[in-house]
Amino acid sequence: MESFSKYSSVQKAVCQGEGDDTFENLVFDQSFLAPLVTEYDKHLGELNGQLKYYQA
């Protein structure tokens, strides 16, 4: 994920609620999400290893 340019590290999204409630330009910073995704992938790999061990 470090290969992204500085402009792609921030994403803008439009979140719509019920009726006319709209929150525009809600900014999600991918640099916040990257460590979470990395940690998730690590745990997923560990769990897959345990699953294979117990299935054998």
Q: Three-state secondary structure along 31-43?
A: HHHHHHHHHHHHH
Are residues 30 and 10 in contact, defined by beta-carbon separation less than 8 angstroms?
A: yes
Are residues 11 and 1 in contact, defined by beta-carbon separation less than 8 angstroms?
A: no
Q: Which phi and psi (to 5°) does residue 13 adopt?
A: -135, 155
Confidence of residue 6 (pLDDT cuts 50, 70, 90): very low
The pair of structure tokens assigned to 46 is: 């560990």
Query: Percentage of the chain with pLDDT > 90?
Result: 36
**Predicted TM-score (pTM) above 0.85:** no
Per DSSP, the three-state class of 47 is helix
pLDDT at 28: 60
Mean pLDDT of 41-48: 97
Which residues lie across from 17 on neighbouring strands? none
